[in-house]
Amino acid sequence: MTNEAEYDNVKSMVENLHMGVVKHLEGKPGIFKIDQVEKRPVERPVIIAWEQRNTTLLPEDLKSFFMTTDGFHLTWSVKMENGPLPVGRLHINGIGHFVRLNPPTDTVPSVAPSLCDLDFDSDDESADEPSKPKFSGGFRLFELDNCDNYGRVCVVYREPKQSCGELTSEIWFLDRGMNWHYLASSFTDYFRLMIMHLGLPHWQYAFTDMGVPPQAKQWFHMYAPTRLEIDINTPRNMQGISSAGVGSKQVFDPTKVFKSKSEKKKVTGVGATNPSPSSQNSNQNRSTKKAPVSSARSVGSSGSKPLSQSSSSNSLVKSSR
């Protein structure tokens, strides 16, 4: 049995990771059924047996998690006219289902294709993103979540290049096209990502080049719009490196992206009140022009009165005489 003091300390750590998510979901409109499966902690001899059987040491944060609860499973549904519709799923495999993704194969050669045949990509390790896992040589892959068969979340152990080094672990997502996508540098960071995304369907695809499917994006707009905006505006190669958002982010200015027709009309109106220099010159030229003359007889050469008026006045004088 585990020590009570140690158990309480580890339990408080895990509760701090997902504390408040149930209350947050209860405050959302339409969510009415939240189910969380309570699981007993894993005893230390079971963990030691797993490590010996797989010749791999569990990461300290994942080991503490198993010593608190043998996995994690929380689901929530939305109330519809035809009944409850399951939407959210937050899941971590128990230690009994935390199995190796590519178990050692027999030495007998086979003509059938295997996962190792997919390891044809070149190693593209860079400063921004670690090199992608492979199904053969230098990597140990353990399934953390089967994601309802739309992908797999795996703990990837990267064997050191030097014989005296230690194994390092990371969290990666394997999509249905058998492509790897980096999620987090530790189990704790991945757990926080899962909580922040509320277990929405296909949320792991936010860290891929494909992005979240349109149908799942509708649920994001309803229950996690801020998280969706962060995922969209964060560069793909920087999304899963740190939950704090390391790297540059694209600045989102809604006033530039979403402009209504009325706002555009106002902009043109302002331009009319403040015309450009060329338009000012053209207006000045128009103002200096004389009014068009309807007839050459209407105006004298010296600017005198019209001829029609002078002739009429002479006729009046003659008549008075």
Q: Using pLDDT thresholds of 50, 70 and 90, give the confidence band for residue 180.
A: very high
Poorest-pLDDT segment among 56-65, 92-101, 150-159, 164-173: 164-173
The mean pLDDT value for 142-162 works out to 89
Q: Residue 76 and residue 36: Cα distance in Å, rounded?
A: 9
DSSP-derived letter for residue 83 is: E
Q: 195: pLDDT confidence band, cut at 50, 70 and 90?
A: very high
Q: What is the pLDDT of residue 250?
A: 39
* CA max distance for the chain: 143
Contact 294, 301 (CB under 8 A): no
- pLDDT tens-digit readout, 36-88: 888 889 999 999 999 999 999 999 999 999 998 899 999 999 999 888 999 99
pLDDT category at 316 given cuts 50, 70, 90 is very low
Radius of gyration of the chain (CA): 37
**Helices within the chain (DSSP H only):** 4-18, 21-26, 44-54, 60-66, 187-196, 214-223, 225-233, 254-257, 261-273, 277-288, 307-320
**The pLDDT of residue 23:** 85
pLDDT of residue 135 exceeding 90? no
Positions of E strands within 161-209: 168-175, 180-184
Determine phi and psi for 131, rounding to 5 degrees.
-65, 150
B/e letters for 88-115, b = 16+ CB within 10 Å, e = fewer, are bbbbbbebeebeebbeeeeeeeeeeeee
Q: Which two tokens stand for residue 238?
A: 């920087």
Tokens of 239: 């999304």
Determine the pLDDT at residue 16: 62
Q: Determine contact, residues 231/239, Cβ cutoff 8 Å.
A: yes
The percent of residues above 70 in pLDDT, for the chain, comes to 56
Q: Give the start-to-end residue ranges of the domains of the chain.
A: 4-100+129-257
pLDDT at 138: 78
